[in-house]
Every structure is written in C-alpha cells, then in structure tokens.
Amino acid sequence: MTAFTVIKRDARGKAVLSYQGTLIERGETHVCIEAQFALDDIDLGYIRLRRGDSFREWFYSDRYYNIFRVQDAVSRQLKGWYCNITRPAEIEEAQVSAEDLELDVFVHPNGRTLVLDEEEFAALRLPDLEQKRAWEAVNTIREMALRRQSPFEEIKTAPDPVSKARSK
C-alpha cells in the first residue's frame, strides 16, 4: 500500500487542510484512499466525528464531488457517507487535491440524505455553469444512494412504520 497525500483547497484554490492516507485503488479517473480522522472530536449535529474514525475516500478527476465513507473508530459501525461538492480533483502520483465548493451531502446508513451548507455555497457567487454542475452533483449523489450504487451498497432502509404496525 502506498502513502498518499490529500490536500483540501477552498474555492479560490488555497490549501486549507492536508493529511496522509493510504492508496488502496487507482483507476483512470479516480483514486480511493483510507485515512484516519486526526482532528479533535466534532459534533456536527447529524454525525459525530471522533479522532481515529476510519475514512475510505473516493476522489474523481471527472466529477464534481468526492465521497467519504465514515466508520466509527471503536465500534467499527458505519456512520454514513460525507460527500463534498468540489471541482474535479487533480490526481497526481502520490497526491490528490480538490477545491471545495462548500456544498455538501450527508448520506445516513439508512439512505436518508441531507444537503448542507447551501448558504455558504450561494455566498461563493460561482458562474452559472459551475453552480449547475454542483447541483447536478448533489442530485447524482442522491440518486446513487437511492439506487444503492457503489459506494452506497451498504445502505439499509429503515423499516416502514406502517409495515411494522401491521406485523403486530
């Protein structure tokens, strides 16, 4: 397995975060790495990230998003998928970087999706075409989750309360 550097950039291209991971897959237009969450614990309201949580991260050079599968450090339970809406990633031999466009999608293990940071995205005042591509990326992620397409094949739909009531 190969050491790999991830660089998160803001929408202007300025590096805001850099960390190390391990390359586990490389394709023609993507890389997949594994990394550990190394920051202090953060409670985002819809997920709590803890130091040591495992991330499997997919970056694409031909898509306006990246996807992080988040697994709990202690219980090893799936917490969900954090999806960043970004400009297509720049993939190099031992490094990937992507410019974050602020808009995010979180996919819960049961398939429920949350669109996050719409106000921050609007404040960027991106060109119309880039805004369109960003929203298309949001819709693509939602559709992938609905269809349980990779990497969302682990989604387990919550029981229907009506069906549950009938079975009693």
Q: Total domain count for the chain?
A: 1
pLDDT digits (tens, 9 = 90+) for 102-142: 999 999 999 999 999 999 999 999 999 999 999 999 999 99
Q: Has residue 168 been placed in a domain?
A: no
Cis peptide before 127 (omega within 30 of 0): no
Burial class of 27 by CB neighbour count within 10 A (0 to 12, 13 to 18, 19+): exposed
Q: Has residue 128 been placed in a domain?
A: yes
Q: Has residue 52 been placed in a domain?
A: yes
Q: What is the structure's pLDDT at 122?
A: 97
Q: Has residue 165 been placed in a domain?
A: no
Kind plus residue range of the DSSP H or E element containing 85:
strand 78-86
List phi, psi (to 5°) of 129.
-65, -40
Residue segments in the chain with a per-residue pLDDT below the cut of 50: 159-168
Q: What is the structure's pLDDT at 123?
A: 97
Burial class of 53 by CB neighbour count within 10 A (0 to 12, 13 to 18, 19+): buried
Q: Has residue 14 been placed in a domain?
A: yes
Q: Please report, as a single letter, which amino acid is at residue 163.
A: S
Q: Has residue 160 been placed in a domain?
A: no
What is the rounded CA–CA span in Å between residue 125 and residue 46? 27
Domain range holding 147?
2-155
Q: Has residue 164 been placed in a domain?
A: no
Whole-structure pTM value: 0.91
Q: Has residue 166 been placed in a domain?
A: no
CATH label of the domain that carries residue 114: 2.40.380.10
